[in-house]
Structure 1
Amino acid sequence: MLSWGSDRRALLARRVVVLLALSLHPFIAVGQRVEGVVVDAHGRGVGNAEVYLREGNRMVALTNERGEFSFQAEGRDSVCFDVQALGFFGESRCVLPGSSEVPVRVTLRDRLIAIEGVGVRGQTSPHVTMQRLDIANLLSLQAAGSGVESLVKLMPGVHSNNELSTQYSVRGGAYDENLVYVDGIEVLRPQLARSGSQEGMPIINPDMVSVIEFSSGGFPANFGDRLSSVLNVRYRTPRKFRAKVDLSLMENRACIEGASSDKRLSGILGVRYKSTRLLLNTTETKGDYHPSYFDVQAKGRMEFNPDCELSALLGFSRNVYFFKPHNKVTRFGALTADFLQMNVYYEGQERDTYMTMFGTVQTRWRATPRLTLRGQLGGYWVREEEKFDILGEYWLSELRGVEEVRPVVDSASNVGIGGFLEHARNRFEGAVATVKGNMDYQFSLGNVEVGLELSPRYFYHVANEWNLMDSAGYAVPRALREVPVQGLARGAGGFPSMLYSMYAQTQLRFPSAAGILTLVVGIRGSGVGQWRDLRVSPRVSASFVPESAKDLRLYVGGGLYYQYPFYREIRDRAGGIHPDVHPQRSIHALGGAQWGFQAGGRPFRLQAEVYAKWGAQLVPYVIDNVRLRYEAQNAAKSQTYGMDLRLNGELAPGVESWVSLSVMRSRMRITDKLREANRQPAADTYFYAPHDQLFGASLLLQDYLPGVPGFRVALQASYALGIPLVLPNGRYGQQSRMPSYKRVDIGFSYAFKDENYSLPRLSRAQWLKSLMVSAEVLNLLNFANTVSYMWIKVTNAQGRSSSLAVPNYLTSRCVNIRFVMSI
């Protein structure tokens, strides 16, 4: 018994010693914990940077999205490690014993100076077909559209002929072919809007944005299914307290953010209110405009430890457009003929409502230094209502000479007289839920990413609209109580669907004596309903940076892309729903080069890209203002070829300027019989696609006034040739051209205090970060841009009637005052 007890006490003592040693292991064996952050030359965190311990050359950490890292080092001597990241020169650091409590800050130098040194940080994005835009340029955009979409419109290959709308066409594609993400959740566009004023406020809050990535084609497999482009926006994760107020005559914004002392809990809140009444009052249609757009969004983040975090984003917006028209005067014509003037007098009103709610919860867990897991649950809900009854009576008069303007009551000058009645009671309600997860594994040559997504969708609509045009020889009753109407659309019903997708993608980097070759190879599978309907989309891109010319980057890319219909693609012009519409398909192929150079001691970059797109199983459509009217059947194919050029750099230190040029030709061909035979093309051949635009150019110039610190001038200009024009219910292929779109905006701003300059009186106010006042002149040269046409019938002296297109013009010159302050 004594021997057994002694052995038991000895065993117990040994266990106590082992447990004590294990408890003291971090102090006597591990040595020290090293924490730090990796940033670029501009102070931004560098994600996915690899940290290698010099002893043994083994990777011990991988930076998160903010560039932070931490690892445990054994021993009590100094710890030396190397940091490597794609697109940067490597750096080495040594941490002395006893100094590990202070976070190590590692600044990486850009490997491609010109590519990384200007506003569009193409090299920061890991994919060659994705470009990262500088959010600092959002402050320079004029208030007609000072959001992220306005910055995208200035990119090469992107076309828009409406400053009131946030929609855009990319390389000949439709508005619905553009994919938009906000913190990983897909954003729905307005479905019923027929003019830019009805769209309301864009969903992206520019004050909350930290990263903007855009691709005009050939985007990788980890992004969803659209035919033309992808815009990926991520909101900021605050690290300290900050508040900002942006006030103007058109839009008011406020944003506040902060974080706890240990940076583990943070949040940001943005509120916006916008009214385009000042702009709408410059249009030719006079009346009572009462647009009211309100939006609030909030994001919170909780970090459990450096390897695990949870974040949530919530948003709500309500957009109301009320309009009571009074009268309209339009003068139009050509220099070789007499000018015409149409006077319209209105009765009635219009009230449109557009509401959205969305939310997402996502988590990130870094299981190992190489393996990261992410999950997300989100939802998006939208409700739209369109109600109007507008009665108009018009007089069409002839103007002979500049000085001679005859009254409309003079029968000698009257060309036509008539009236119209427009009626609509349309409603749309849609909901999209998203459940997705992905896994990212890093290894020596690159990474592998795998993801899965399920997205149940549902919409319900009520369509009830028609219009009546009454003029001589136009509206003739077919029966005693039957008057023919035009544009009749009636229908109601809902449609549920389940969209699933999965993808696998790898990025490989091969350095050699000749240069650095980067490959991105991915495959995406997607479908609706049953698994046997799975469609496979391979996508690939490659880039090469020669060792002998490190400021030159050559790249190619391409892939197969599908787009699944939602609402507008399966609704015909009569209001009927056709669920049997198949996904549209497109093949992308592109190649280009980026060349960085120095001029005047400042960095510049020239980018040239050629591309081709082949579309199949397309749904034909025509454009009416910003409204797309589809045929709701897969009955077309297309061919698109073009070239984009872009030169950007710093004409003045710290501010970016650029010029973009685009040349494109897009053609479409009807491959099947249309339901409406009167819209079938007269010949089975190619014709210009609805968004064909041979040439487009955009310009953004920013400079400081010499001798006046803090005074900046920003000039923004756009020019684009007109898109094809088709008669209402006319045949495809019977086209003319709309006039070209021209617009110049200029802004003058004075910064009383910012990060580079401060008035002496404000230098002591440490709480004030920036204070700026600006004056903006929109449509400086007062161009009369045509956005759509009103079609009327006129009868001549011989009794023959013909159709006449009366242009609807966009906004005229307008002045806006802006005040921006941040603390």
Structure 2
Amino acid sequence: MGLNKIILVVLFFCFGVVTSAQTARIKGVILDKNNQPATNVNVSCQSVGTRSNVNGFYILTVPANQKVVVVFSHVSLKKATVAVNLKSDEDYEFNLVMNDKDEQMGEVVVTVNNKKRVQGITTIEPATIRKIPGANAGVENILKSMPGFNSNNELSTQYAVRGGNYDENLVYVNEIEVYRPFLIRSGQQEGLSFTNTDLVQNIDFSAGGFQAKYGDKLSSVLDITYRTPTQFGAVAEASFLGASVAVDAVSKNGKWSEVSGIRYRNNSLLVNSQETQSNYTPTFADFQTNVNFKPSDKLEFSFLGNISSNDYKYQPLTRQTNFGTIDDPMALLIYYEGQEKDKYTTVFGAVKTTYTPSKNSTYKLIASAYHTQEQEYYDILAQYRLGEVDANLGSENFGDVKFTRAIGGQLNHARNDLDALIVNAELKGIHNWKKNQFEWGAKFTRESIRDRVIEWEVIDSAGFSINPPKILLKNDQPYAPYTGPLVPYQNVRATNFVDINRFSGYVQWSRKGYIGDNEIWMNAGVRSQNWTVSGDGITSSTQFTFSPRAQFSIKPNWNKDMFFRLSGGLYHQPPSYRELRDADGVVQPEVKAQQSIHIVLSNDYSFKMWERPFKMVSEIYYKALTDVNPYTLDNVRIRYAAANNAKAYAQGFDFRLNGEFVPGTESWFSFGYLKTEENRDGKGYISRPTDQRLKFALLFQDYMPKIPSIKLYLNLVYNTGLPGGSPSYSDPYLYQNRLNDYRRADVGFSKVLIDEQNPSTKRWLQPFKELAIGLEIFNLFDNQNAITNTWVRDVYSKNQYAIPNYMTTRVFNVKVNMRF
């Protein structure tokens, strides 16, 4: 599909020319009498049909707003039929067990039951996540193409949502909260995201205004469900960046099932494309398993386990960064000595019990433990030259530094160790009564942190040691001897033994009803938390929060499938350990929870274009934040002031258009506008570190019409620049310059060699059910995107220069995907 058509479609919707959707979808899993997946079952309705795949799964588009009959037939099984009446764009799940003796007939009358649409939750297909290219492929890679989500670091899985920071996002796997390592400061140290996309069944995301059942964070919720397999299977992937293997297993009686995966990643291909030449030998690996046991229809047990090891070794050698203008080109040359050795080892385990005594009541008991041991050791000496570049095209020394304007050095040292143990126990209940649903939960969390911080930095310029700005002693060198103290430019030393006990709970009510002929959904709830901070040398502090939240949704009785939602409430974020530790490494137990009054107004419109389904979602939001804990952002490291001395706001608009621009594939276009500012100590409003004003993103999938086995995937992101890059110890009210805009395009090409849906492709390579080989090009247009600035002094002009720290350049990757 051409670019002109895409632009035409966007303009078409901007002027409000729309078409009503008149179809719905029925989908599910078909099993035989032995509870095994029934393959190649014909599923038809009127003149449209499909077949179930090897897992028994099917999906069929049917006419909406009328009673239709869906027929299930198979050569060795008796026919089954079901009559349904679905609303426009409704997704209805119908699972069927077919037998070889009696025909089955039934009728289902369905009203709109799309709970995720009501709650303002975006669902992402796992298959899309596995296909879309990205330097750090996975769930977070896809989220970066969504409106309201921002990240300027392709090596990182961390993201900011609607003006929040990396610590303000909730992540759940199978309803179990997961955690990140504490000490990571650079995206290239991260390695692997917690989520293994080879194990994923369902991914839901909310960018704000979420319900009380979700935890105490200010920005977003990522809710991931790992699949429960129905038969044995295996998938594998290998590329220049690493490899992964996942296996599904099921017992003969179907009561036990397990899905496990192991991953290995090496970012050398990406890091070696940066300007800093280095010896880089990282090892990122993890193993995950999800085991399920269902002894009866009323009782189910599951275990989620993860072991992860990130062994990061980095030895920088040299770097040259060219900057300046055509008339005044300059360069920064750096020669390094020393190395960095970091290690992050995490172990996570959780047990979940689900008991369903009746169809109207469900109880869940969840217990989990997370243990991380982290070390960050480095001694790196950087000796630099700042000079003018020879710009004479005819010169033999073209591009070299011909005149040095400044020299200096910088020595960084760290011996940081952290040991953290976090345990949780939670009881939850769900009860249905008539048209009402009640949900409640109670949770206890204990966090034990053992932390040692030793960091210092010494800066030398033209042979003179530079004191930090907070030491304002007279220095007339070289005209007069300097007699003041020689101190590090930065110096942090602290040892903290901290325990945090948290008691939290929630209760919420949901109901569906009508106002006239218009369908409405209502949700109201409240959650609270009580926490106590204690430890060696710490005065114990106990605090309490109370957070009411509500949602109201309405679907007018119009010909158009239009949906409106208003949600919000008072959200709190009780401080984590990182939020309690100030810039000097000292724990401040009296830090209060940051709080936000959050309001979201959204419109969800489903329609058809070119006889294919599309959806347009737009949202306006506003956050008023108080008791704000200010922070600085350096790469992916956050350092808090550990003081509630600011207030802030975030406001914006998000828009997303998704659908089948190409038949059979989902693509989308996103746009977001954000403005977020804070007022520290009453000095006035300035931009927050995450104030990224404009965001455009395009995720596009295509294939060659005459050769559908050749596929194209494009992931394009444009973000305006973030504030940042100011010198250390600088006053943010004096330095409000921004980084350059972030522009990145990743493209992937794939050739399917074997497809189980097309038996003719399986004449060779018999062991495989599917086999594909692909080429990925990261940063297609080779844009220079900066994550921070390095500040260098020129002793002659008395100026400081902001030298951009660029991210990865264009990189090629080859990968192979297999399914057995």
* C-alpha displacement of 1:260: 1.7
Query: Among residues 510, 523, 526, which one is paired with 2:529 in the alignment?
Result: 526
Once the two structures are overlaid, the 10-residue window that deviates more, 466-475 or 632-641, is 466-475
* Aligned mates of 2:168, 2:283 — CA distance in 1: 28
Evaluate the alpha carbon distance shift between residue 327 and residue 664 of structure 1 in structure 2; reply closer, same or farther with a 3 A threshold. same
Match of 2:608 in 1: 598
Query: Among residues 491, 497, 501, which one is paired with 2:500 in the alignment?
Result: 497
Question: In structure 2, what residue type is equivalent to 1:228?
Answer: S
Question: In structure 2, what residue type is equivalent to 1:160?
Answer: S
Match of 1:292 in 2: 283
Secondary structure at the counterpart of residue 282 of structure 1: coil
Question: In structure 2, what residue type is equivalent to 1:803?
Answer: Q
Secondary structure at the counterpart of residue 351 of structure 2: strand
* C-alpha displacement of 1:103: 11
* Aligned mates of 1:554, 1:204 — CA distance in 2: 32
Contact 1:396 1:408 in 2 (8 A): no
Evaluate the alpha carbon distance shift between residue 762 and residue 610 of structure 1 in structure 2; reply closer, same or farther with a 3 A threshold. farther
Contact 1:571 1:632 in 2 (8 A): yes
* C-alpha displacement of 1:80: 13
Question: In structure 2, what residue type is equivalent to 1:821?
Answer: M
Once the two structures are overlaid, the 10-residue window that deviates more, 663-672 or 219-228, is 663-672
Q: Counterparts in 2 of 1:773-788, with a 5 A limit?
A: 773-788=773-788
Evaluate the alpha carbon distance shift between residue 801 and residue 587 of structure 1 in structure 2; reply closer, same or farther with a 3 A threshold. same
Match of 1:632 in 2: 642
Normalization by structure 2: what TM-score? 0.83
Q: Counterparts in 2 of 1:627-666, with a 5 A limit?
A: 627-666=637-676
Are residue 691 (structure 1) and residue 682 (structure 2) matched?
Answer: no
Secondary structure at the counterpart of residue 558 of structure 2: coil
* Aligned mates of 2:81, 2:737 — CA distance in 1: 70
Evaluate the alpha carbon distance shift between residue 671 and residue 778 of structure 1 in structure 2; reply closer, same or farther with a 3 A threshold. same
* C-alpha displacement of 1:545: 1.2
Q: Across the two proteins, how many residue pairs are aligned to each other?
A: 727
* C-alpha displacement of 1:44: 6.1
Query: Among residues 807, 811, 814, which one is paired with 2:811 in the alignment?
Result: 814
* Aligned mates of 1:628, 1:560 — CA distance in 2: 24
Evaluate the alpha carbon distance shift between residue 276 and residue 410 of structure 1 in structure 2; reply closer, same or farther with a 3 A threshold. closer
* C-alpha displacement of 1:42: 3.8
Evaluate the alpha carbon distance shift between residue 542 and residue 328 of structure 1 in structure 2; reply closer, same or farther with a 3 A threshold. same
Larger radius of gyration: 1
* C-alpha displacement of 1:804: 1.7
Contact 2:676 2:688 in 1 (8 A): yes
Contact 1:505 1:520 in 2 (8 A): yes
Are residue 344 (structure 1) and residue 344 (structure 2) matched?
Answer: no
Normalization by structure 1: what TM-score? 0.83
* Aligned mates of 1:427, 1:93 — CA distance in 2: 52
Match of 1:709 in 2: 708
Evaluate the alpha carbon distance shift between residue 92 and residue 702 of structure 1 in structure 2; reply closer, same or farther with a 3 A threshold. closer
Contact 1:143 1:250 in 2 (8 A): no
Q: Counterparts in 2 of 1:43-122, with a 5 A limit?
A: 43=28, 88=90
Q: Counterparts in 2 of 1:190-589, with a 5 A limit?
A: 190-335=181-326, 337-399=327-389, 401=391, 403=393, 413-472=403-462, 475=465, 483-511=486-514, 513-529=516-532, 533-549=543-559, 551-589=561-599
Once the two structures are overlaid, the 10-residue window that deviates more, 103-112 or 569-578, is 103-112
* Aligned mates of 1:109, 1:475 — CA distance in 2: 79
* C-alpha displacement of 1:525: 1.3
User: What CA deviation, in whole Å up to 9, does each residue of 1:346-379 have, x standing for no partner?
Assistant: 1111111111110000111111111111111111
* C-alpha displacement of 1:266: 0.6
Once the two structures are overlaid, the 10-residue window that deviates more, 615-624 or 399-408, is 399-408
Match of 2:754 in 1: 753
Evaluate the alpha carbon distance shift between residue 217 and residue 102 of structure 1 in structure 2; reply closer, same or farther with a 3 A threshold. farther
- Between the aligned residues of both structures, percent identity stands at 33
* C-alpha displacement of 1:601: 1.4
Question: In structure 2, what residue type is equivalent to 1:750?
Answer: K
Match of 1:48 in 2: none
* Aligned mates of 1:198, 1:245 — CA distance in 2: 24
Match of 1:163 in 2: 154
* Aligned mates of 2:173, 2:507 — CA distance in 1: 22
* Aligned mates of 1:572, 1:292 — CA distance in 2: 31
Question: In structure 2, what residue type is equivalent to 1:353?
Answer: K
User: What CA deviation, in whole Å up to 9, does each residue of 1:500-549 have, x standing for no partner?
Assistant: 11111111111465221011111111121399843211111111112223
* Aligned mates of 2:599, 2:167 — CA distance in 1: 21
Match of 2:7 in 1: none
Question: In structure 1, what residue type is equivalent to 2:698?
Answer: L
* C-alpha displacement of 1:408: 11
Evaluate the alpha carbon distance shift between residue 91 and residue 706 of structure 1 in structure 2; reply closer, same or farther with a 3 A threshold. closer
Contact 1:432 1:455 in 2 (8 A): yes
Secondary structure at the counterpart of residue 818 of structure 2: strand
Contact 2:130 2:197 in 1 (8 A): no
Secondary structure at the counterpart of residue 367 of structure 1: strand
Are residue 744 (structure 1) and residue 734 (structure 2) matched?
Answer: no
Contact 1:640 1:666 in 2 (8 A): yes
* C-alpha displacement of 1:484: 2.4
* Aligned mates of 2:117, 2:402 — CA distance in 1: 69
* Aligned mates of 2:399, 2:96 — CA distance in 1: 90
Structure 2 residue runs without a partner (length 5+): 1-23, 31-55, 58-79, 468-472, 474-481, 534-540
* C-alpha displacement of 1:40: 6.3
* Aligned mates of 2:679, 2:804 — CA distance in 1: 28
* Aligned mates of 1:140, 1:229 — CA distance in 2: 24
User: What CA deviation, in whole Å up to 9, does each residue of 1:66-93 have, x standing for no partner?
Assistant: 99xxxxxxxxxxx999999998588999
Contact 1:265 1:303 in 2 (8 A): yes
Are residue 610 (structure 1) and residue 611 (structure 2) matched?
Answer: no
Question: In structure 1, what residue type is equivalent to 2:748?
Answer: G
* Aligned mates of 2:558, 2:545 — CA distance in 1: 42
* C-alpha displacement of 1:101: 8.8
Contact 1:602 1:650 in 2 (8 A): yes
Give the alignment's Cα RMSD to 1 decimal.
3.1
Evaluate the alpha carbon distance shift between residue 352 and residue 306 of structure 1 in structure 2; reply closer, same or farther with a 3 A threshold. same
* Aligned mates of 2:93, 2:261 — CA distance in 1: 38
Question: In structure 2, what residue type is equivalent to 1:751?
Answer: V
User: What CA deviation, in whole Å up to 9, does each residue of 1:738-781 have, x standing for no partner?
Assistant: 1010101110001123355454444995x633111100011110
Evaluate the alpha carbon distance shift between residue 42 and residue 284 of structure 1 in structure 2; reply closer, same or farther with a 3 A threshold. farther
Contact 1:338 1:400 in 2 (8 A): no
Contact 2:391 2:398 in 1 (8 A): no
Match of 2:723 in 1: 724
* Aligned mates of 2:512, 2:602 — CA distance in 1: 19
Match of 2:119 in 1: 128
Are residue 41 (structure 1) and residue 26 (structure 2) matched?
Answer: yes
Question: In structure 1, what residue type is equivalent to 2:663?
Answer: P
Evaluate the alpha carbon distance shift between residue 409 and residue 742 of structure 1 in structure 2; reply closer, same or farther with a 3 A threshold. closer
* C-alpha displacement of 1:193: 1.6
Secondary structure at the counterpart of residue 294 of structure 2: strand
Contact 1:639 1:667 in 2 (8 A): yes
Contact 2:389 2:401 in 1 (8 A): no
Contact 2:392 2:398 in 1 (8 A): no
Contact 1:397 1:408 in 2 (8 A): no
* C-alpha displacement of 1:632: 1.0
Secondary structure at the counterpart of residue 732 of structure 2: coil
